[in-house]
Amino acid sequence: MGFLESLRRMVEAVPGAMAAAVVGTDGLVVEGYTPHGSVDLQVHGAEMATAMNAVSKAMEALQQGEVEELTVRTGQALAILRPVAAGYFTLLLLHPDGNLGKGRFVLRRATPELSKEF
Amino acid sequence: MGFLESLRRMVEAVPGAMAAAVVGTDGLVVEGYTPHGSVDLQVHGAEMATAMNAVSKAMEALQQGEVEELTVRTGQALAILRPVAAGYFTLLLLHPDGNLGKGRFVLRRATPELSKEF
């Protein structure tokens, strides 16, 4: 059904979700959805790609395998990242009081569908 | 009660826990506990510090505030990181099938106690 529709469904399914995007590890956003336009997806994509790459390198150096999921909590946001294809990940951004468990579940469930689009 | 005792209690309280450590953001391990000696704490501390710093910088650039918690899942490990004092974080390392929810809970609960040691 295309990236945008999948991303929109994801955001609508998770309480407290602010945005969802498919991002390249080069920091470029392939597609993104943010219901209120409150999130600058380009900037978030670029910064989260840098974070994802650094974490991937660390886990590789530790011979712990490839990153399957990364979550970051701050006072203002909750980010969940999950690889979706070689060189790409999906980002789901929630309010800090958003439902992390539901977010992880919805993102994991959407991944096979999103993968098909590559 | 000291770092080592707190770290030991943490590892023993979480099913699937492999190691726990207090690490400086410069990558040096202040104290660590690994029951079977299977985890090279120095190397893990150094790599996880690099990851933590990169994620912190990204969240700072996004003006999302300071990192309160970072979790990384790979096929071989589950890492939970939580700042404990300025320039230091606690690392809890689990087997990939370890209890993430319990790990996050135990780490959060232990943080005030660990903070007192600084």
DSSP state of B31: E
pLDDT at residue B1 tops 80: no
Q: Which residues contact B8 (CB under 8 A, 6 or more apart)?
A: B20, B33
What pLDDT was estimated at residue A8? 96
| Mean pLDDT of chain B, nearest integer | 96
Q: Is B72 on the interface with A (CB under 8 A)?
A: yes
Tell me the helix, strand and coil percentages in chain B, rounded to 5.
40, 30, 30
From the candidates A39, A62, A99, which should be mutated to test the interface with B, based on the most B CB atoms within 10 A? Answer: A62
**Structural domain that includes position B68:** 3-115
User: Binning pLDDT at 50, 70 and 90, where does residue B54 land?
Assistant: very high
- CB pair distance less than 8 Å for A74 and B55: no
- Going across the sheet that includes A88-94, the strands are A29-33, A17-24, A88-94, A78-85, A67-74, B67-74, B78-85, B88-94, B17-24, B29-33
Q: What span, in angstroms and rounded, lies between the C-alpha atoms of B45 and B48? A: 5
What pLDDT was estimated at residue A37? 81
- CB pair distance less than 8 Å for B44 and A62: yes
Phi and psi dihedrals of B67, rounded to 5? -65, 130
Residues of A in contact with B66 (CB under 8 A): 74-75
How many residues make up chain B in this entry? 118
What pLDDT was estimated at residue A107? 97
pLDDT at residue B97 tops 90: yes
B33-45 pLDDT per residue, tens: 999 788 999 999 9
Q: Which residues contact A101 (CB under 8 A, 6 or more apart)?
A: none
Of B47, B68, B72, Cβ closest to residue A73: B68
When divided into structural domains, chain A yields a total of 1
From the candidates A74, A89, A100, A105, which should be mutated to test the interface with B, based on the most B CB atoms within 10 A? Answer: A74
Average of per-residue pLDDT across B1-12:
93
pLDDT at residue B86 tops 90: yes
What pLDDT was estimated at residue B36? 78
- CB pair distance less than 8 Å for B47 and A62: yes
Q: Position B82: which residue type?
A: R
Residues of chain A with pLDDT under 70: none
Q: Interior CA angle at B81 toward A103 and B18, to 5°?
A: 105
Per the CB < 8 A criterion, the answer to whether A100 and A78 are in contact is: yes
pLDDT at residue B87 tops 90: yes
H helices of chain B, in order, are 3-13, 41-61, 100-116
pLDDT at residue B4 tops 90: yes
Of A64, A71, A75, Cβ closest to residue B74: A64
CATH of the domain at A104: 3.30.450.30
Residue of A nearest to B49 (CA): A58
Q: What span, in angstroms and rounded, lies between the C-alpha atoms of B92 and B68? A: 14
Of B53, B63, B76, Cβ closest to residue A64: B76
Residue of B nearest to A95 (CA): B64
Q: Which residues pair with B90 in a beta bridge?
A: B22, B82
Per the CB < 8 A criterion, the answer to whether B50 and A54 are in contact is: yes
